[in-house]
Amino acid sequence: MSTPDQKCADLKQKLEADGMRQLKELQQKKGIIPPEKDLVDLMQKGADEFKAQTGRNMTYGEMREMYG
């Protein structure tokens, strides 16, 4: 049985992998450096999913951990 901390860690790992996949797709469509708005939208989508799954916003540290 997973603990809440483990579920959160698994979610962050999933969101990070999804973000990297989506970034690669953006790069294929829009070039090596996608427009800033597209990058912000990608991170916001991950933050929204995190909040929906956990009921809280990501901390600054969690954002940095996942999105650099």
Mind giving me the DSSP string for 4-67?
HHHHHHHHHHHHHHHHHHHHHHHHHHH-SS--HHHHHHHHHHHHHHHHHHHSSPPPHHHHHHHH
pTM (two decimals): 0.80
Query: Does residue 67 belong to any structural domain of this protein?
Result: yes
Query: Does residue 53 belong to any structural domain of this protein?
Result: yes
Q: What is the mean pLDDT of residues 29-39?
A: 82
Number of structural domains in the chain: 1
DSSP state of 1: -
Query: Does residue 22 belong to any structural domain of this protein?
Result: no
Q: What is the mean pLDDT of residues 21-35?
A: 84
Using the predicted structure, report yes or no on whether residue 33 has a pLDDT greater than 80.
no
Q: What is the mean pLDDT of residues 33-47?
A: 87
Query: Does residue 27 belong to any structural domain of this protein?
Result: no
The boundaries of the domain holding residue 38 are: 1-16+34-68
Angle between helix 36-54 and helix 4-30 axes, rounded to 10 deg: 160
Query: Does residue 47 belong to any structural domain of this protein?
Result: yes
